[in-house]
Amino acid sequence: MTARDTGEAHRVSSPLELLFDLTFVVAVASLVVQLAHGIEGGHGADRIGPFLMVFFAIWWAWMNFTWFASSYDTDDVPYRLLTMVQMAGVLVLAAGVPAAFDDGNFTAITVGYLIMRIGLVAQWVRAGFEHPESRVTAWRYAAGVSLVQVGWLARLALPEELGVSSFVVLALLDVTVPFWAERTGTTFWHPHHIAERYGLFTIIVLGESVLAATYGVQEALGAGGVSGDLVLVSAAALVTLFAIWWLYFLEPAGEALSVKRGRSFFWGYGHYGVFAALAALGAGLEVAVAQAGHHLEVSPVVLGYAVGLPVGIFLLLLWAVHAVLETRTQIRPVVILPSAAAVLLVPLAAGALGVTTVVVLIATLCVLIVAITLAGQLRRSRASAPVG
SS (H, E, C) 196-243: HHHHHHHHHHHHHHHHHHHHHHHHHHHHHCCCHHHHHHHHHHHHHHHH
Any idea which fold 191-384 has?
I/LWEQ domain (1.20.1410)
Where in the chain is CATH 1.20.1410?
191-384
Tens digit of pLDDT per residue, the chain (388 long)?
A: 888 888 888 888 999 999 999 999 999 999 998 998 898 888 888 889 999 999 999 999 999 999 999 999 899 999 999 999 999 999 999 999 999 888 888 999 999 999 999 999 999 999 999 999 999 999 999 999 999 999 999 999 998 888 889 999 999 999 999 999 998 888 889 999 999 999 999 999 998 888 877 777 777 677 666 677 788 888 899 999 999 999 999 877 888 888 888 888 889 999 999 999 999 999 999 888 888 776 677 888 999 999 999 999 999 999 999 888 876 777 788 888 999 999 999 999 988 998 899 999 999 999 999 999 898 878 877 776 665 5
Q: How far is the C-alpha of 330 from the C-alpha of 375, rounded, in Å?
A: 11
Q: Check residue 379 and give its pLDDT.
A: 82
Q: Name the nearest CA neighbour of 243 among 339, 363, 326.
A: 363
Angle at 356 between CA 221 and CA 223, to 5 degrees: 20
Q: Check residue 223 and give its pLDDT.
A: 66
Q: Check residue 292 and give its pLDDT.
A: 77
One DSSP character per residue, 295-348 reads --SS-HHHHHHHHHHHHHHHHHHHHHHHHTT-SS-SS-HHHHHHHHHHHHHGGG
Q: How far is the C-alpha of 385 from the C-alpha of 338, rounded, in Å?
A: 30
- pTM for the predicted model, two decimal places: 0.92
Q: Check residue 270 and give its pLDDT.
A: 93
